[in-house]
Structure 1
Amino acid sequence: MEEEASRQLAEFLDHLRYEKRASPHTVDNYARDLEQFRRFCAAEHIARWAEAEPYQIRQHMADRHRLELSGRTLARELSALRSFYDFLLRRQAVERNPAKGIRAPKTGRSLPHTLDVDELASLLDTPAANTLEVRDLAMWELFYSSGLRLSELVALDLEDIDWSAQSVRIRHGKGDKARVVPVGRHARSALERWLEARAALPVAAEAALFVGDKGQRLSPRTVQARLERWRKRCGFDKHLHPHMLRHSFASHLLESSGDLRAVQELLGHSDISTTQIYTHVDFQRLAAVYDQAHPRAKKRP
């Protein structure tokens, strides 16, 4: 494609980063999605973004669908194209948005995987053997106590913990939305132990709440790697990732309270339909109990 097309793509990604304040994860995904479309355009001898027609967008999505990508992935790729063309439209670089009105194939939403209370106790009650494990336990407790996303946890600064209000402030949640969520008693105790241990590290002027042994802010990959290490230590057979602790927070809270709106607010979901997935998780648990306990539901041996 023309050099101008590459410049416009780079400007759009900068727009996402600095004006929309999209998360690095979103920017990376959109960059990959649009790069796929640019390769398609090159193969179709489309030199400028304005030359793409709706039927070619459909052809591109059909090609992607044949690769057996999930409906969620295809929907995100279409969202990237629509956002990009809306950006070009505002800049008067194109006359219309060829991706508008094109729909991705629907797919069933998979239920989130959670840990039960005993599994969480096995993880959270494991004694820490060193400073980094004290930090790790504080992170796992905070994930489960407050339902944080991984990106939210690593972005926390020391000042974001309000000890008097027993809460944590998420300054830049998904969609750059801020929220304040409670921090439970066990999580506060774990954080106090971590801050005491943190004081002995070469943190200098680092504002991050969670740092490595050299005083640097933790990356998401480091947190994931540390949790995998704890998974092996605790003997879990299932895959364990930070979002599973957030899922467990939501599922257990909804199970105990039944307050869907409150859980929505705590999770920072803009749409309650996103939160409703946890009602299905709870129903699955109830259905399993029913199958095991009801005299007319039990399977014959």
Structure 2
Amino acid sequence: MQEYKRDLSREGITGWSCSRLIPCLLTLYLHPMHDYPLRRMVVMVKQGVPYGESSLYLAPGVAFINEEEAVFAAMVEGWTDAQVGGRLNKRQSADSNVARAVALQEFTNEFQWNWTAGMFDEWMMHLISERKLMRSTLRVYQASIRAFCNYLISDHYTWAQQCEQRFGTHPTQIVHEWNSARHILDYEGRPGRRPLARDEVQRLFDHIDSSVDSRLDQHKKGALQVYRDATIMKVIYGWGLRADEVANLEVTDFYRNPHAPEFGDYGILQVQFGKGSHGSGKKRRSVLTLRAGAVAALKAYVDEVWPTVRMSGSNLLWVTERGNRLQAKEITERFAVYRDEIRLDSVLSPHCLRHSYATHLAEEGFDPRFIQEQMGHQWGTTTGIYTHVTGNFMNTMMRQALEKNQQARPTKGPGK
């Protein structure tokens, strides 16, 4: 213990005693994203003290060579622990959030308790003009900084009190509604993910189906693989799935829905490997079946094709020509072949079918909250990026609204 105290003294940190080392053990290392020393706390959890609480990182009576850098480093470390230990986020996600906070500090050359909304605006302009970041990426950056500020200004973690005592000021929130990008209802995703028009979806399905018939008529190899591809594309569109979600589907993921007996064994799909929230890992979700055509295609495949290609001891729906698990990358490659054959936009990927699913449900009048649940989105505004209703649909809705208003308007009587 005495040798450890001497190591601390060489770093200019004094005032430590054995009693003060009981709550936490202080060590020094260089933070991978910064040159200044970041004090790494191995916290012996105390009852009633949350992960990330300032007292676990800034013990009373401790002096620092560079107090501002040391306090900011402690904030960053505390925020990391609060994310991983408190919110149970993945370490990789926490590190990404921290990297953005450190990037803002390096850009402004100021520490958080001196940050202003104007500094944040300048950083955003830098990311747009110099880094050429997409709008959706900017929202991720903004969310990280907003979360960092919320962590520091929360009374739960007492960082504001620490800054008041040490610097005579305190952290504030610098990301507001008026200076941050909002989720909007207009389509703003990548061009390769834009929704297909209904006639484009039909043209794609008809083309793959005709390819199956052509191979069978000419006794060519690969008919089963093309049949598999046709079913995959219909399943992606029929349940609004991502490529990796459909790649991991098993026969046992489908269940009966007592409220929709017409779909038989395919009334509900339990997606086992859905995309989770940032840092939370894979997430399960239930998707209610809506498309009878997709059910018919899948049932025919399971009844007629799957038994002949099934991997031994596996319930996976899709296998390759060599009998291996089909990967999401291969689904993307197969989609590209059919896309190019019917001369659709060369940037389109299978994800456009998922966008088409959401958009077409919106056009059919499904409630936005229902579509959000079907898609597995945490926020309804995320679903808004997926839904991009067509001009014809908007005109139809306008006409119906005008007619409804006219019918509801009271008729004026004679002389009124």
Q: What are the residue-to-residue correspondences of 1:1-301 with 2, within 5 Å?
A: 1=34, 2=37, 4=40, 19-20=88-89, 34-35=98-99, 37-39=101-103, 41=105, 53-55=114-116, 59-67=122-130, 68-83=132-147, 101-102=175-176, 103-105=179-181, 110-111=186-187, 113-125=194-206, 126-127=208-209, 128=212, 129-162=222-255, 164-171=265-272, 172=274, 174-175=276-277, 176=283, 178-182=285-289, 184-195=291-302, 196-201=304-309, 203-212=311-320, 213-216=322-325, 218-219=327-328, 221-237=329-345, 239-255=347-363, 257-261=364-368, 262-275=370-383, 281-283=389-391, 285-287=393-395
Aligned alpha-carbon RMSD (Å): 4.4
| More displaced 10-residue stretch of structure 1: 52-61 or 221-230 | 52-61
Percentage of identical aligned residues: 20
Q: Which amino acid aligns with 2:353?
A: L
Question: Contact between 2:372 and 2:380, CA under 8 Å: does it hold in 1?
Answer: yes
- 1:109 CA displacement: 5.3
Question: Contact between 2:145 and 2:175, CA under 8 Å: does it hold in 1?
Answer: no
Return 5+ residue gaps in structure 1 as ranges: 291-301
For residues 346 and 391 of structure 2, the distance between their equivalents in structure 1, rounded to whole angstroms, comes to 21
Q: How many positions carry a matched residue from both structures?
A: 278
- 1:150 CA displacement: 3.5
For residues 180 and 74 of structure 1, the distance between their equivalents in structure 2, rounded to whole angstroms, comes to 30
Deviations 1:122-149 (A, max 9, x none): 2112233433323322221012112223
For residues 139 and 128 of structure 2, the distance between their equivalents in structure 1, rounded to whole angstroms, comes to 11
Return 5+ residue gaps in structure 2 as ranges: 1-33, 41-72, 161-169, 189-193, 213-221, 256-263, 278-282, 399-416
Question: Contact between 1:144 and 1:245, CA under 8 Å: does it hold in 2?
Answer: yes
Q: Which has the higher contact order (CA 8 A, sep 6+)?
A: 1
TM-score normalised by length of structure 1? 0.67
TM-score normalised by length of structure 2? 0.52
Relative distance call for 1:115 and 1:215 in structure 2 (3 A) is same
Instruction: Pick the structure with more helix per residue.
Output: 1
Question: Contact between 2:195 and 2:353, CA under 8 Å: does it hold in 1?
Answer: yes
